[in-house]
Amino acid sequence: MSELQELVEGVYRDLKSHIGEGKIADYIPELAKVDPKQFGIAVATLDGGFHVVGDAETSFSIQSISKVFTLTLALGKAGDTLWTRVGREPSGSAFNSIVQLEYEKGKPRNPFINAGAIAVADLILAGHQPREAIGEIVHFARFLAGDDSIAIDHEVAKSEAETGYRNIALANFMRSFGRLDHPVEHVLGVYVHHCALAMSCRQLARAGLYLAAGGNDPLLGNRVVSRERARRINSLMLMCGHYDGSGDFAFRVGLPGKSGVGGGILAVAPGKASIAVWSPGLNEYGNSQVGAAALELLAHRTGWSIFGS
Ligand code: GLN
């Protein structure tokens, strides 16, 4: 067994007794049905190695982790003009907060809070019907993961569409400032569908490799984004990827990371690996409790923190 595989299994073993801790997201009714006693880790290294343990092959709702992929897509379409629509400052507020939007005249603080991702969805919709935009995002996730089986969980999308009053409010508020080009229903349709992408830790770790490898897919040799863009996406993940828990995550883990309320986290160790963890119980900020603990141990034991080993 390789040293890294042993290390990943050690992290799993050390946290096994904590599986199920935290609070599962229940404001999206379909997510409340997920068994909280699950935990997976997948580490994909730049040389093509995969080190997995636990429930790493089980698909789960990636939720806000998808915002990394939609940001990447939207930057490809709009380039740096995207930053006239969305800021790049940490918010220090909850993922679904509306308060700062009023002060900033409807311009979201960053692309990873809900308001920011809604603005990004609006950009991806340019020139498309919602169905086409959703299809484009699914294809992009499949391309990044090298796996055509990746799909949207339509029950989750429907469940969020029916109950997502806060996001409906956010989108209408932004639209009132002239910040959205498309009908609110279309924008939210794209948003809830990309949040409902279902992927496993293994697929997610594979999909995130381009961010660890300076924008290149290291396994196929394709350039996904420029080196500079990959670096910038990583910096946004570090500063904003865990909402008002971003400081705590940087302090404990020291890697760019993006969480989702499904309990997944995608973390990037630049030049080394892409890591996905999943365990549904969430901490007070809506980030996976056991997942963050796993990344903390992993970063500590590998010495991969970007702030030094
Ligand atoms: N779809 C979820 C929502 O809008 C995403 C939130 C999250 O993963 N933090 O509430």
* Given 59, 64, 66, 274, the catalytic residue: 64
Return the structure tokens found at 93.
């507020």
- Rounded Cα–Cα distance for residues 19 and 5 (Å): 20
Atom of ligand 1 nearest to the CA of 243: 9
CA of 261 to the centre of ligand 1 (A): 6
For residue 48, give the CATH number of its domain. Answer: 3.40.710.10
Clarify whether residues 188 and 252 are in a common domain.
no
Tell whether 282 and 237 lie within a shared domain: yes
Binding-site residues for substrate, please?
64, 114, 160, 167, 191, 243, 261
**Ligand 1 atom at minimal distance to the Cα of residue 114:** 4
Q: Are residues 294 and 258 in the same domain?
A: yes
- Are 146 and 266 part of one and the same domain? no
Atom of ligand 1 nearest to the CA of 286: 9
- Report how far apart the first and last C-alpha atoms of the chain are (Å, whole number): 24
**Known active-site residue 210:** no
Q: What is the whole-number distance in angstroms between the Cα of residue 46 and the centre of ligand 1?
A: 29
Q: Is residue 112 part of a domain?
A: yes
- Same domain for 115 and 178, yes or no, is yes
119: Cβ contacts below 8 Å, ≥ 6 apart: 85, 86, 107, 108, 111, 174, 179, 180
Domain count, the chain: 2
- Is 0.95 exceeded by the ipTM? yes
Contact by Cβ (8 Å): 98, 109: no
Measured CA to CA, the distance from residue 177 to residue 202 in angstroms comes to 41
- Are 272 and 209 in the same domain? yes
pLDDT in tens, the chain (309 residues): 799 999 999 999 999 999 999 999 999 999 999 999 999 999 999 999 999 999 999 999 999 999 999 999 999 999 999 999 999 999 999 999 999 999 999 999 999 999 999 999 999 999 999 999 999 999 999 999 999 999 999 999 999 999 999 999 999 999 999 999 999 999 999 999 999 999 999 999 999 999 999 999 999 999 999 999 999 999 999 999 999 999 999 999 999 999 999 999 999 999 999 999 999 999 999 999 999 999 999 999 999 999 998
User: Listing from the earlier edge strand, what are the strands of the sheet with 151-152?
Assistant: 60-61, 197-199, 151-152
Residues 160 and 93 in one domain: yes
**Residue 276: inside a domain:** yes
Question: Which residue's C-alpha comes closest to atom 2 of ligand 1?
Answer: 63
Residue nearest to atom 4 of ligand 1 (CA): 114
81: domain range? 64-197
Catalytic residue among 8, 43, 53, 67: 67
Residue 242 placed within a domain: yes
Ranges assigned E (strand) in 99-229: 151-152, 197-199
Q: What radius of gyration, in Å, describes the C-alpha atoms of the chain? A: 18
Q: In this structure, is residue 309 part of a structural domain?
A: no
Claim: this prediction has a pTM higher than 0.90: yes
**242 and 150 in one domain?**
no
User: In this structure, are 293 and 210 located in the same domain?
Assistant: yes
User: Domain for residue 165, yes or no?
Assistant: yes
Contacts of 126 (CB under 8 A, 6+ apart): 77, 78, 181
For β-strands 151-152 and 197-199, DSSP reports them as: antiparallel
Looking at the domain assignment, is residue 308 inside a domain?
no
Reduce the DSSP state of residue 50 to 3 states and report it.
strand
Say whether both 120 and 49 belong to one domain.
Answer: no
The yes-or-no answer on residue 67 being catalytic is yes
Q: Is residue 83 part of a domain?
A: yes
Examine the residue annotation and report whether 23 is marked as an active-site residue of this protein.
Answer: no
Cβ-in-10-Å burial (0-12, 13-18, 19+) of 285 comes to middle
Same domain, 55 and 74: no
Length of the chain: 309
- Examine the domain organization and report whether 163 and 204 are in the same domain: no
Element (H, E) at 280: none
**Assigned domain for 261 exists:** yes
Give, using CA atoms, the residue closest to atom 3 of ligand 1.
114
